[in-house]
Amino acid sequence: METRANFVLVGSSVLAALAAIVVFVFWLGSTRLSHHDSPYYTYFKGSVTGLTTGSTVRYRGVPVGTVDNIEIDPDNVERIRVTLKLREGTPIKVDTIALLEMAGITGGSYVEITGGTQSSPPLVAENGGIPVIKSENSTLQSLVDNAPKLLGKLTQLADSANSVLSPENVHELSLTFAHLENLTANLDSLGPDMKQAIANFGQVAADLHGQLPQTLTSLRQDGQSIKEAANEFRQVASGLNGVIADNRGPLRDFTGHGLAEVGSLIVQLRDLSTTLTRVANHLDRDPQRYLFGGGSNGGIDPNRPLSAGIPTGATK
């Protein structure tokens, strides 16, 4: 009788557990059916290594969905199209951006959604299709993509350093350092003379520095004077232009007729000068004969006073 009661208790427990499992399955199914995911596209131009179907999609660090599909864009082979399944109510705006981030050092990747301001309108698809979220390469992803180029440049830099630090160059550097050491020793041996020369050079520099403002002031004043003189010369030139413009007719008459008359006058003056010179020569040689004619005395008694009159036969 007791054994039969134990069987009934065990059977009841098993039936209760099965009923609980059935209730849990129905509850989970109803929850899944009541939960709707929204599909979105995003495109990446770089490598999506580490991103797999089922990878987490996070909105500023909060899990909001998963990656549903990864494929090459059928319209552009340079892009990778990633289909995202996001929970209903996720605030995807027009200015929302999708980034591909690395999940630690494990090599896995996930999609990080950032951006999206409160004032921006919700993202909707054109022609009733699937909305497309803009994408950018993250800093870490850019670093990973550019790592081969960076390593190549580091290798080139190392090769250049090895060529610079070759044994020949090291020897030349050693000689240069030795020459510098000798030069320093020679400078030290100069002692007070070198110090005095440096002090004199400093004094000259100080004097030049002290006289520089005065020199600049003088140059500025000279420049102002030159400018004023140029302005005065310009005014004089303008005045001359005005005078020439006002007297253009008289000047034209002078150059046309006056110059010819001046030339004729000069010729007559030259003849008159020649005549006067000849008269002066005659007067100088024999003034009595030139004035009165006749002999050397012209019929005039040299002892007779001039008040006695002109002798007979003298030429007036």
- 234 plus 278 within the same structural domain: no
pLDDT for the residue 21:
84
Instruction: Report yes or no on 72 lying in a domain.
Output: yes
Instruction: Report yes or no on 229 lying in a domain.
Output: yes
138-159 per-position pLDDT tens digit: 665 666 667 677 777 778 887 7
- 266 plus 236 within the same structural domain: no
Does the structure show a pLDDT above 90 at 42? yes
Instruction: Report yes or no on 183 lying in a domain.
Output: no
283-300 per-position pLDDT tens digit: 667 666 655 555 444 444
Instruction: Report yes or no on 9 lying in a domain.
Output: no
pLDDT for the residue 304:
47
Report CA dihedral (97, 103, 107, 111) to the nearest 10 degrees: -20
252-280 per-position pLDDT tens digit: 766 666 667 777 778 888 888 888 887 77
Strand partners, 87: 37
Strand partners, 113: 59, 98
- 205 plus 277 within the same structural domain: no
Report CA dihedral (269, 270, 272, 274) to the nearest 10 degrees: 160
Residues 6+ apart with CB under 8 A from 178: none
**End position of a domain, from candidates 211, 246, 281:** 246
Instruction: Report yes or no on 283 lying in a domain.
Output: yes
145-201 per-position pLDDT tens digit: 676 777 777 788 877 777 766 777 777 778 888 888 877 777 666 666 666 777 777
For 245-262, letters b (16+ CB in 10 Å) and e give: eeeeeeeeeeeeeeeeee
Q: How many domains does the chain have?
A: 3
Grouping H, G, I as helix, E, B as strand and the rest as coil, residue 180 is helix
Q: Which 8-state DSSP code applies to residue 257?
A: I
Instruction: Report yes or no on 207 lying in a domain.
Output: yes
- 206 plus 284 within the same structural domain: no
Instruction: Report yes or no on 222 lying in a domain.
Output: yes
Report CA dihedral (275, 277, 280, 286) to the nearest 10 degrees: -80
- 114 plus 47 within the same structural domain: yes
- 204 plus 258 within the same structural domain: no
Average pLDDT value for residue range 212-223:
77
Residue numbers of the domain that contains 279? 252-298
- 52 plus 106 within the same structural domain: yes
Does the structure show a pLDDT above 60 at 35? no
Q: Which 8-state DSSP code applies to residue 313?
A: T
What's the mean per-residue pLDDT of the chain?
A: 76
User: Do residues 71 and 19 make contact, with C-beta atoms less than 8 angstroms apart?
Assistant: no
- 62 plus 95 within the same structural domain: yes
- 45 plus 113 within the same structural domain: yes
More confident of the two residues 69 and 105: 69
For 86-111, letters b (16+ CB in 10 Å) and e give: beeebebbeebebbbbbeeeeeebbb
Instruction: Report yes or no on 291 lying in a domain.
Output: yes
- 78 plus 109 within the same structural domain: yes
Q: CA neighbours within 13 Å on the CB side: how many for 159?
A: 6
Q: Is 96 left (phi over 0), alpha (psi -120 to 50) or beta?
A: beta
82-108 per-position pLDDT tens digit: 999 999 888 899 999 999 888 766 668
Does the structure show a pLDDT above 60 at 228? yes
User: Do residues 296 and 286 make contact, with C-beta atoms less than 8 angstroms apart?
Assistant: yes
- 202 plus 262 within the same structural domain: no
Structure confidence at residue 315 as a pLDDT band (50, 70, 90): very low
Range name among 73-77, 246-250, 265-269 with the lowest pLDDT average? 246-250
More confident of the two residues 141 and 207: 207
